[in-house]
Amino acid sequence: MEGNRLTESKDISNPFEQKAKQQELIKEKMANVKHKIAIISGKGGVGKTLVTVNLAAALAKGRKGKVGILDADLTGPCVPKMMGLKGHKMELGASGIMPARGSEDIAVVSMDFLLPDDEAPVIWRGPLKMGAIRQFLGEVAWGDLDYLLIDLPPGTGDESLSVLQLLPELSGVIIITIPSEVSQAVVKKAVTFARQMKVPILGIVENMSGLVCPHCGEVINVFSKGGGAKVSKEMGVELIGSIPMDPKVALDSDNGVPFIYSHPDSPAAEAFKVVVERIEGQVKK
Amino acid sequence: MEGNRLTESKDISNPFEQKAKQQELIKEKMANVKHKIAIISGKGGVGKTLVTVNLAAALAKGRKGKVGILDADLTGPCVPKMMGLKGHKMELGASGIMPARGSEDIAVVSMDFLLPDDEAPVIWRGPLKMGAIRQFLGEVAWGDLDYLLIDLPPGTGDESLSVLQLLPELSGVIIITIPSEVSQAVVKKAVTFARQMKVPILGIVENMSGLVCPHCGEVINVFSKGGGAKVSKEMGVELIGSIPMDPKVALDSDNGVPFIYSHPDSPAAEAFKVVVERIEGQVKK
């Protein structure tokens, strides 16, 4: 990875010492971040990044420069696109790697900023991924943050494991799902995963909860109905919100604008406000 | 992994020798499979498993017992649920691990069959995943197959890399995407990934291409429009089909029935027939 050249530690040849040094750096940098929240899911494509970006946008209102996003999906990073930051780069500053800055000065770190173009894949096995996440946490000049949101790739693989192990003081995880039964089976694994890692679960968010037809106004349950509530009950985890589908929301993501900014009065944004309030309430506990 | 107990090789203590032995087993087992096709995507949740299951169902018509599915998504396996095989187990037979059997005798191998329940997550780093995939390929009694479809997890991580490296004689990959721009950026990585691995690309399938409102019949472009065609043009890969969204299809998946069986006259099934024909045409080349 390019970032290797940016490593502060110069005289360390022993990999164990290097790891310990990195762990120290992570501790140091993360001490200035009040609340660290990871966004996870069992299945992919359920809207993890959508929730991450809009949650950051909502939290950043009145907290300018105090919110950050770590896009920990190394092979399929989507945060820059959804934040309107495509083509931005991270630069080396006096205090470490400087994150890109989105609206409301949201600090964004993503593998996407290190790739030459959209076509370049990141073909990495686990240990390299672990190393990249260590660098993103420990060598980025995150500064003083109120919230750092970490967008993890789907599943319970290397990246998720790394983040949860590297950040024992995580405020908690938010678990994203969609209403279908197929998704429920997988989201249960995510709940168990968080519990086994002894990380608090801030709640489940059900995304793609029905679609209002823009032509006739009727509700269409595209991915079935009620899955979030069912998992919530079966696993004993609070359902903190159900966000309806909206073609405008997909367009907002494509255009790089959080929908809570561009369509603040849409049913999706209204539902999202409840999610934000509950999360703010949860981390204060 | 449980399967370790099922390993045929008994006297091999050297891990390099064991790997070589496993590679031999894979070669042996895979020699009896005519066409091996991997289904990949950049982003998760775009319908990889939906395409895999329905493609298998379509190919198995008139090829009873000659089609197999390897569910290589180890942390979020969904094939058993969508094939109506939840709760099935794989057993040890004379010629290796016996796959579960779905409709038309489709052979199915999935990590899901090895887990105690839906709530159990597979929290594995890369090397363990590689080992599991080696076993699934080399120690399962796949038998003589016309088609083996391999459902890979999203992204270009360990599982995808393992399968493409272990099966140099792959007929090709099918790349699944959805119309949104966010998805396009990531699908390009999948195209480059396949090219770098020197695997033929059989085509791109665009899933979730518009939704016909069941109430008023108007088309809703839930995830924007035209992304598949755009990627196809920009990357020089054939778009072999566009499958519309359909709430009935999501229900079929939840009920464990391929929609091409339960709703053969639906627009989704009609679109899917074109995909199947093109793939059959491609592998004959």
Query: How many other CB atoms sit within 10 Å of the CB of residue B89?
Result: 9
B155-196 pLDDT, tens digit each: 888 889 999 999 999 999 999 999 999 999 899 999 999 999
Q: Bridge partners of B220? A: B211
What is the rounded distance in angstroms from the CA atom of residue B217 to the CA atom of residue A99? 47
Q: How much of chain B is helix, strand and coil, in % rounded to 5?
A: 45, 20, 35
Domains and CATH numbers, chain A: 13-284 (3.40.50.300)
Read off φ and ψ for residue A201, nearest 5 degrees. -100, 115
Check CB contact of B177 with chain A, cutoff 8 Å. no
Does residue A88 surpass a pLDDT of 90? yes
The owner of tokens 């016996």 is B98
Positive/negative CA dihedral, B269, B271, B277, B281:
negative
Structure tokens given for A83: 């934040």
Q: Bridge partners of A97? A: A92, A140
pLDDT the model gives residue B4: 41
The owner of tokens 């903190």 is A240
Give the best residue of B53, B181, B221 to mutate against chain A (max A CB count within 10 A).
B181
Residues 6+ apart with CB under 8 A from B151: B39, B48, B49, B52, B69, B70, B71, B72, B73, B79
The owner of tokens 């053969």 is B264
Q: Bridge partners of B212? A: B219
- Report how far apart, in Å, the C-alpha atoms of B240 and of each of A239, A247, B275 are: 39, 25, 6
What is the rounded distance in angstroms from the CA atom of residue B170 to the CA atom of residue B202? 11
Does residue A1 surpass a pLDDT of 50? no
Where is A241: in which H helix or E strand? strand A239-245
The owner of tokens 């597979």 is B122
Task: Answer whether A75 sits within 8 Å of B126, measured CB to CB.
Answer: no
Check CB contact of A43 with chain B, cutoff 8 Å. yes
Strand, coil or helix: A155 = coil
* Helix runs in chain B, H state only: 15-30, 48-60, 79-82, 126-138, 158-166, 181-196, 227-235, 247-255, 259-262, 267-284
A106 Cα to chain B: minimum distance (Å): 20
Check CB contact of A94 with chain B, cutoff 8 Å. no
Query: What Rg value do the Cα atoms of chain B yield, rounded?
Result: 18
Structure tokens given for B18: 């064991």
Strand, coil or helix: A43 = coil
Q: DSSP letter at B99?
A: P
Q: DSSP letter at A141?
A: -
pLDDT the model gives residue B32: 97
Least confident among A13-22, A34-43, A258-267, B10-19: B10-19
pLDDT the model gives residue A4: 41
Check CB contact of A212 with chain B, cutoff 8 Å. no
Nearest chain B residue (CA) to A186: B76
Q: What one-letter code names the amino acid at B31?
A: A
- Which residues of chain B are within 8 Å of residue A178 when distances are taken between CB atoms? 45
> From the list A45, A127, A221, which residue is nearest B43 (CB)?
A45
Closest residue by Cα to residue A214 from A152, A263, A174: A263
Angle, helices B126-138/B15-30, rounded to nearest 10 degrees: 40
Check CB contact of B218 with chain A, cutoff 8 Å. yes
Task: Answer whether B188 sits within 8 Å of A119, measured CB to CB.
Answer: yes
Structure tokens given for B182: 């966010």
A95-140 pLDDT, tens digit each: 889 999 999 999 999 999 999 999 999 988 888 888 999 999 999 9
Nearest chain B residue (CA) to A156: B123
- Which residues of chain B are within 8 Å of residue A132 when distances are taken between CB atoms? none
> From the list B76, B86, B122, which residue is nearest A43 (CB)?
B76
Predicted TM-score (pTM) of this structure:
0.91
Q: Which of residues 2-41 of B touch A (CB under 8 A)?
A: none
Give the best residue of B71, B74, B125 to mutate against chain A (max A CB count within 10 A).
B125
Give the best residue of A112, A119, A225 to mutate against chain B (max B CB count within 10 A).
A119
Percentage of chain B lying above the pLDDT 70 cut: 95
Cβ–Cβ under 8 Å, residues B50 and B206: no
- Report how far apart, in Å, the C-alpha atoms of B230 and of each of A279, B96, B181, B221 are: 39, 45, 9, 16
pLDDT tier at B54 (50, 70, 90 boundaries)? Answer: very high
Task: Answer whether B181 sits within 8 Å of A73, measured CB to CB.
Answer: no
Check CB contact of A254 with chain B, cutoff 8 Å. yes
Does residue B260 surpass a pLDDT of 80? yes
Cα first-last separation, chain A: 39
Cβ–Cβ under 8 Å, residues B79 and B53: yes
pLDDT the model gives residue B284: 87
- Using DSSP bridges, classify how beta strands A172-177 and B239-245 pair: parallel, antiparallel or unpaired: unpaired
ipTM above 0.85, yes or no: yes
**Dihedral Cα B120, B126, B131, B134, nearest 10 deg:** 110
Query: What Rg value do the Cα atoms of chain A yield, rounded?
Result: 18
> From the list A153, A188, A215, which residue is nearest B118 (CB)?
A188
Q: Which of residues 103-142 of A touch B (CB under 8 A)?
A: 118-127, 129
Check CB contact of A263 with chain B, cutoff 8 Å. no
- Using DSSP bridges, classify how beta strands B201-212 and B172-177 pair: parallel, antiparallel or unpaired: parallel
pLDDT the model gives residue A13: 64
**Mean pLDDT, rounded, for B57-71:** 97
Closest residue by Cα to residue A173 from A31, A48, A17: A48
Nearest chain B residue (CA) to A211: B222
Check CB contact of A191 with chain B, cutoff 8 Å. yes
B199-208 pLDDT, tens digit each: 999 999 999 9
Q: DSSP letter at B140?
A: B
- Report how far apart, in Å, the C-alpha atoms of B265 and of each of B261, B273, B279 are: 9, 10, 20
Cβ–Cβ under 8 Å, residues A166 and A26: yes
Percentage of chain B lying above the pLDDT 90 cut: 82
Whole-number mean pLDDT of chain A?
92
Positive/negative CA dihedral, B241, B242, B248, B252:
positive
Structure tokens given for B196: 């770098």
B122 Cα to chain A: minimum distance (Å): 7
- Which residues of chain A are within 8 Å of residue B44 when distances are taken between CB atoms? 43-46, 76, 153-154
- Which residues of chain A are within 8 Å of residue B211 when distances are taken between CB atoms? 211, 220, 222
Check CB contact of A196 with chain B, cutoff 8 Å. yes
A144 Cα to chain B: minimum distance (Å): 30
pLDDT the model gives residue B94: 87
